[in-house]
Structure formats: C-alpha cells, structure tokens
Amino acid sequence: MTSPEDRGLSRRTLIKAALAIGGSSALTACQNAELSGTPSPTDGEQYPRGDPTALPDGQHSWDEYLVQSVHGTETQSQHQLILGLEYTGSVPPTDEDRETVESALAQLEQAFRWGSGADTSGSINDGLLFLIGYAPRYCSSVDLEVPGLQTPETMLETLGEDSSLAAPFDAVLLLDSDYASILLAAEQALFSDADTLNGLPVDHRLTDQFDIVERRTGVLGKGRPAATIDNEDIPKNAPLSMGFRAGFENSLPPEEIATRTEGPYPGGTTLVLSRVRTDLESWYDQPHEDRRKEMYCPAHTHEEVGEIGDRLGSDSKITEENVDSIAELAEEHGIIGHAQKVASARSEDFTTQILRRSEGVATDTVHGSTFNFSSIQDRTEKFVEIRTAMSVDSYDLDVPEDKHGIVSYLETLSRSTYFVPPRAARALPSNR
C-alpha cells in the first residue's frame, strides 16, 4: 500500500509533469490532482474570480498580492509558466489587434483573482499573477524607443558570453500561481480552444497575434527541488536546488526601485529572463561549510544560517561591513560569498537594485538541473552591473574559481530582455 507521503509525492510529480506537457488532457489531469474533493463541475467556477476594477497599475505589481511566508517575507508562487512568443500580427499593430490582445488578457483578470488577493494573510496564491513584456526586436519594429532596454545580444556580449544565447522571442508572457492548473487553463484559453475559463466564456484569444515559440515551466518551494531533480544531495526541505533559502526583506527591494519613471509609458519596468544550468555534482562535492560561505558570505556562521538558511529569518544578514571586507574575508577563508558579491552592487544607501521576481527549477528540461531566473529593474544595465559583480574577473583576489561565490557552478543557456509597459498600455505598445 502506498503511504500518504508517497501519494503526496506522486501527486506533485503528476502536477509538475502535466504543466510541463501542456494541453487539454494535461489540464484535466492537473485539475483532478489539485482540486480533488472539490465538487464543482469542471466548466463551473473552481477558483476565486478576480475584480478587474481593483487591479494595481503596474503589471509587475505583485508584492502586495503574494503570500507572506512564516518569516514575514513575500513568497514567490510555486508554479511558473513562461511562454516565449513570436508576434504574428500587423506591423504596426492595428487598433483591432490591440483590442483583441487587451480583451484576451483582461479575461484572465476576470476569471482569476490577482495573486492571493489583497489579503496577503492567505496561505496560497490561488489566483494568477502575470505580465507581458516586449523584446527589443518587437520595440524597434514598431519604432518604440525604450531607453534602458538593452538587446539580449548586447547584454551577453557585455558579460563576455556568446551572443547566440539570445532567446529569439518577440514577447514573453510570464504567469505564476500556486495552482499549475490555473496556468494551464489560462494558456488553453489564450492559445487553444477552451470555451470557458473558470466558468466564464472565452471570447478572445491571442492566436491571431502571437505563436508560442517555446514553453518553459518551473517549480519553487520547500522540498520541491529535491523531489524534482535526481540528486540525492539536495537537502529534502531546501527551496532551491543549491540547497539554501533566497529572497529576504533586505535583499528584495521595494517595487518602486524597479518601476520606470522616465521614457515611454512610465510606470512600467524591464524584465530580464535567464536560463541557467547548475552543476550540482561539483557544488555538492564540497563540504556544507564551504557551500554556506560561498552562497552567503564567509563571515556567516552555521549558528546564523542553519542547514538551509532556515535560521536567517527575514534577513540575509548581509551588511555593508561584509561587503567592505571582501578582501580581508577572502584572505582569511579563501572564499567569497555570492550574496556578499551581489550586495556590493547595491546603491549608495545600500538598497538592492534588481527585484528577483519569479524563479524556479526548470521542469521542462531533461538535460541536467536547470534554473529559470528572472528579475525586474528600471533599466537592464542594473542586471548587468549585478551579474558583473558575480564574475571572477571583477576581483583581483587570490581565490580559486570554485570558491568564488556560485558563478563557476552556473552555465548560461539563454538570456532575453523585455519592456513591460504598465497595465493600461500592455496591449502591443508602439510609437504612436
């Protein structure tokens, strides 16, 4: 007989696989697994509906609608669907194209509530958070100049990486929820033939304006990496595949830091999407103590951090002193910490400059362990500054590469950049 724990695991495995596969049968399987015991008919209202009159102006305004963790920090949603899109509508877009895109996206807001709703005391994001962003190639095709939006090729070259790793998307739709079935249902409504969405009729789709070029799916949360990746070294409860907690009050800046106040359509942001392969074999081939120091800072002790960062509470405990003494600590320990390095790129008042938004262990890939990383910032150069602070060459210190934060365990598979307009201008923006 299978134990309740095994049943829980196989249920999770099924949900992950269903999201990765996509399609209407996957949606039914996923709904059965996620909503078991819910008596409502499959075409009726199954999840809380949204109130389109009460939405924030920013498509990227998620913080107030995310679940608060026990540590009092905002928790990213557990399931992630990233749709890389090709624009197939008219250039420049017609009013009809725009109306269709706006109506199709507005349907999602009506069918599902924005995240966990305005009351973040909820323990689950049983709604949907999403944003649509437009790549530089789309923007230049419609003469939309967006200062502070680098092309992915420029970004890759600046970082000394191969420019062919730029993802060939014109736009991206990023969707997050704690229910994978909500993500699948939204995709089916926008790009397939679903007649209803959470019990509401589907009147508009994106099929005349966009084709899906690539689907990426990801999962995040306590215990999920160990259950997803075939590597016995990943601690059972760790929320990330590299075994430690990330995302603290002091290291996730307020959304205003990432919100654009200048350029076209102020109130928007820019999105940087990366896919990173993580070399977990080499990472876990080191003592836990080294990993702890490489991930956070050599000055962080086991008493402060715990096994997986559980003792850190709501603060990463990275201080200006940790940053100022990178050289001394490196000499003493032979190690530099990832969090310590990236905090060296904070502003004058020691505020982090990019907001890591939706991260997850990729579940759509079979090639080793891969990670979807995304961040929002007012201009993409800030991402580059922070990524540069991770690189070995930025420091003239005698520290081996494999003790230089986490960078030597990461391999970039893809990068892309997007302009994310405010909600009111999200449908095919152009210079008009």
- Stretch 287-326 residues interacting with ligand HEM (CB under 6 A): 295-296, 316, 318
Nearer to ligand HEM, 105 or 258 (CB): 258
Q: Which is nearer to ligand HEM, 185 or 229 (CB)?
A: 229
DSSP run (H or E) holding 82: strand 79-87
At its nearest, how many Å lie between ligand HEM and the CB of residue 412? 8
Pairwise CA distance, residues 98 & 101, whole Å: 5
- Residue 149 binds ligand HEM, judged by CB under 6 A: no
Cα–Cα distances in angstroms (integers) from residue 356 to residues 166, 213, 219, 370, in the given order = 20, 24, 15, 17
Q: Which stretch binds ligand HEM (CB under 6 A): 30-38, 59-67, 138-146, 244-252?
A: 244-252
In 3D, which of 310, 286, 284 has the Cα closest to residue 231? 284
Do 274 and 165 touch, CB atoms closer than 8 A? no
Neighbouring C-beta atoms of residue 1, cutoff 10 Å: 4
338: contact with ligand HEM by CB under 6 A:
yes
380 near ligand HEM (CB under 6 A): no
Q: Which of 26, 202, 246, 329 binds ligand HEM (CB under 6 A)?
A: 246
Interacting positions 252-291 with ligand HEM (CB under 6 A): 276, 278
Which of 129/390 has CB closer to ligand HEM?
390
Burial of 200 (0-12, 13-18, 19+ CB in 10 A): middle
271: phi then psi, degrees, rounded to nearest 5 = -120, 135
Nearer to ligand HEM, 139 or 295 (CB): 295
In this structure, what token pair is assigned to residue 69? 């963790």
CB of 298 to ligand HEM, least distance (A): 14
Closest contact distance (angstroms) between CB of 429 and ligand HEM is 26
CB-nearer residue toward ligand HEM: 286 or 430: 286
Q: Which of 98, 291, 293, 387 binds ligand HEM (CB under 6 A)?
A: 387
Stretch of residues binding ligand HEM (CB under 6 A), selected from 49-57, 154-162, 243-251, 325-333: 243-251
Q: Which stretch binds ligand HEM (CB under 6 A): 77-85, 110-118, 224-232, 383-391?
A: 383-391
CB of residue 247 vs ligand HEM: minimum separation in angstroms?
5
Site for ligand HEM contains 336 (CB under 6 A): no
* Burial degree of 41 (CB within 10 A; 0-12, 13-18, 19+): exposed
Cα distance between residue 13 and residue 30, in whole Å: 10
CA 127 → CA 117, 182, 329, distances in Å?
A: 7, 8, 45
Output 185 or 318, the one with its CB closest to ligand HEM.
318
**CB-wise, 197 or 386, nearer to ligand HEM?**
386
Q: Which of 342, 362, 427, 428 binds ligand HEM (CB under 6 A)?
A: 342
Q: Is 346 in the site for ligand HEM (CB under 6 A)?
A: yes
Residue nearest to ligand HEM (CB): 251
* Whole-angstrom distance, CA of residue 317 vs CA of residue 315: 5
Q: Binding to ligand HEM by residue 404, rule CB under 6 A?
A: no
Distance CA 353, CA 342 (A): 10
Label each residue of 217-259 as H, E or C: EEECCCCHHHHHCCCCCCCCCCCCCCCCCCCCCCCCCCHHHHC
CA distances from 393 to 10, 384, 397, 399, 406 (A): 44, 14, 9, 11, 14
Question: For ligand HEM, which stretch binds (CB under 6 A), given 51-59, 176-184, 224-232, 382-390?
Answer: 382-390
Residue 407 CB, shortest distance to ligand HEM, in Å, is 8
- Residue owning tokens 């050599």: 298
Residues that bind ligand HEM (CB under 6 A): 240, 242, 244, 246-248, 251, 276, 278, 295-296, 316, 318, 338-339, 342-343, 346, 352, 354, 371, 373, 383, 386-387, 390, 406, 410
